[in-house]
Amino acid sequence: MNAQISKIKDAIIAGKTVLGIELGSTRIKAVLIDEDNKPIATGNCEWSNSYEDGIWTYNLEDAIVGLQTSYKHLADNVLSKYEVLIDLVGAIGISGMMHGYIVFDKNDELLVPFRTWRNNITDKASKELTQLFQYQIPQRWSIAHLHQSILNGENHVSEINYMTTLAGYVHWLLSGEKVLGVGDVSGMFPIDLETKTYNKRMLNLFDELVEEKRFEWHLEYIMPKPLVAGEKAGKLSGEGAILLDPSGTLKPGIPMCPPEGDAGTGMVATNSVAERTANVSAGTSIFAMVVLEKSLTKVYPELDMVTTPTGSLVAMVHSNNCTSNLDAWVNLFDELLLSFGLSTDKNNLYNILYNKALEGDADCGGLLAYGYLSGEHMTHFEEGRPLFLWSSESRFNLANFIRVNLQTSLGAIKIGLDLLMEKEGVKIDKMMGHGGLFKTPGVGQRFMAAVVEAPVEVVDNAGEGGAWGIALLAAYLVNKKQDETLSEFLNNRIFSTIEGVIIMPVKEDVDGFKLFMERYKAGLPIERAAIDNFRPQN
């Protein structure tokens, strides 16, 4: 056994490792990090949402199974690599998809199926609350879902005892604590940047708005308690230990950090928590986070105002759709190869097709596509219909076809980023990238650089994504020095030895993307017509 493996084994036995688990849109992933905060073992489980009765949802029982499966895979990985069972870790962190609507009654029974961030069904509530608060309330936010349920006259509302997010739900199962990291909380309800808790003025406005309904609850008391990074968020309970590890090997009593949303863990995983830093997470959905030095001058429906895990102001540019449509096309090409009796590694297929896009015309050869598998709030669509269009004047070839589907995956988010940069004068010195779009080296980065007209950097460990990010937040809880800020912890202990790959914007790409966006915006009525007129039978 070499010295490094021996050192890691000793750390595992001593309980000096840290565990992070993130429930993402397609995978539930667990990451174990060592005393140097580097990943030493992983485990994962695939899961997926479903569209039921007009609602995008996940079965929360699947979340529990996925949690157990990803942890078991990690524990088996540890046993195989280091010949030791995990019975103790230094800390645990839980992360999950932000926003959405998960509500329980006083008996802790789920009242309605989990309504995810992917739903665009709260338009009336979103607009009404934005007007009331004079603060942008996106359709994805928990408060928008709650208010829409009230407007709809849904019976379950009167029975609500607790409302939380996916990360908050899993943390509650494991610890018994109804708490949530302030970054995730800021996607439920607006935060007071001074107190790092719910905005009291807006809480009072909402309670007054629904006063005539005579609910037995007040809004503040059915939401989780906000916590900032580094605060104690409870410990793994006996029931939680058995839930996570049904083998009974894992011991209770392990400290847990505040559960966070995937936006917050993405900021941590890319060292983008300080002012003037920015990152973009690109996978099933795509969102860019820009940490601001000051508040924006006005309310923009396209821009969300949320916070970092430490409560600093962030402009969030979010698009519901990114790679899902592109993935579907790659799967079609894979199916074609199999029909000819050929096969290739899926990662290799992605690499070949993505790099082919670099041979395409900068404006995609006059082609147009929309990857709207679900609704897209940025362009005001409550549903989605993926489209591909070309004319007799278009240059229709494989390179342009892949390129247009790559560029359109960034189309909606570019609209929001342009508002931020052009209307508010926000400067982005460098964008940190992570997520599936960036797995093929140099391709997604190059297109993203054209969008922001700034350098885009991807670091190796960012590939571990939010699971690594929440593990770092758990490490910060138990290993930070007195008065050490999260930014200092990340700069000094994590990223000082990590090198990334930086790609600068190419003028031809920037100019070509602008031409493509003119076509993209002009073609939006076609998407509207498709939504209104194409309704496939079940």
391 belongs to a structural domain: yes
Q: How far is CA 31 from CA 20, 26, 496, in A?
A: 5, 16, 21
Query: What pLDDT sits at residue 14?
Result: 93
Q: Does the pLDDT of residue 289 top 80, yes or no? A: yes
Q: What are 423's two structure tokens?
A: 């209307």
Q: So what's the pLDDT on residue 528?
A: 97
At 357-396, the pLDDT tens digits run: 999 999 999 999 999 998 998 998 989 999 999 999 999 9
Number of C-alpha atoms within 13 angstroms, CB side, residue 186? 29
Q: Check whether 195 has a pLDDT greater than 90.
A: yes
Question: How much is the average pLDDT of 162-190?
Answer: 98
Q: Which residue has the higher pLDDT, 263 or 19?
A: 19
Whether residue 365 is contained in a domain is answered as yes
Mean pLDDT along residues 343-348: 90
pLDDT, one tens digit per residue, over 504-528 is 999 999 999 999 999 999 999 999 9
User: What does the block give as tokens for 220?
Assistant: 């503040």
309, 486 in Cβ contact below 8 A? yes
Task: Write out the two tokens for 48.
Answer: 């997926």
Distance, in Å, from the CA atom of 279 to the CA atom of 260, rounded to the nearest integer, reads: 16
| Domain count for the chain | 1
Q: Is residue 440 part of a domain?
A: no
Percent of the chain having pLDDT more than 70? 99
Let me know: does 19 contact 92? Beta carbons within 8 Å. yes
- Within-domain flag for 346: yes
- Is residue 304 over pLDDT 70? yes
Q: Is there a domain that residue 354 lies in?
A: yes
CA atoms of 17 and 42, how far apart (whole Å): 13
Highest mean pLDDT among 267-281, 284-298, 512-526: 512-526
The predicted-structure confidence for 54-87, as pLDDT tens digits, reads as follows: 899 999 999 999 999 999 999 999 999 999 999 9
Average pLDDT, the chain: 94
What is the rounded end-to-end Cα distance, in angstroms, of the chain? 58
* Per-residue pLDDT tens over the stretch 93-140: 999 999 999 999 999 999 999 999 888 899 999 999 999 999 999 999
Order of strands, edge to edge, in the sheet holding 304-307? 304-307, 313-319, 286-291, 278-282, 431-434, 456-459, 500-503
Please give the average per-residue pLDDT across 466-478, as a whole number.
95
Quick one: three-class SS letters along 381-409?
A: ECCCCCEEECCCCCCCCHHHHHHHHHHHC
Q: Does residue 398 lie in a domain region?
A: yes
pLDDT score for 484: 95
Average of per-residue pLDDT across 498-507:
92
Q: Please tell me the predicted confidence (pLDDT) of residue 464.
A: 59
Q: Is the pLDDT of residue 459 over 90?
A: no
The pLDDT assigned to 434 comes to 84
Q: Cα separation of 308 and 265, whole Å?
A: 9
Residue 396 in any domain: the answer is yes
Any domain includes 502 = no
Q: Is the pLDDT of residue 344 over 70?
A: yes
Phi, psi of 285 (to 5 degrees): -115, 175
Summarised one tens digit per residue, pLDDT across range 403-433 is: 999 999 999 999 999 999 999 999 888 899 9
With contact defined as beta carbons under 8 Å apart, do 66 and 45 qualify?
Answer: yes
State the chain's maximal CA–CA distance in angstroms. Answer: 70
Backbone angles phi, psi at 212, to 5 degrees: -65, -15
State residue 537's pLDDT score. 64
Match 């406005």 to its residue by tokens: 205
Write out the residue range of the structural domain in which residue 354 sits.
Answer: 324-408+507-533
Does the model's pTM come out above 0.95? no
Q: How far apart are CA 51 and CA 476, in angstroms?
A: 38
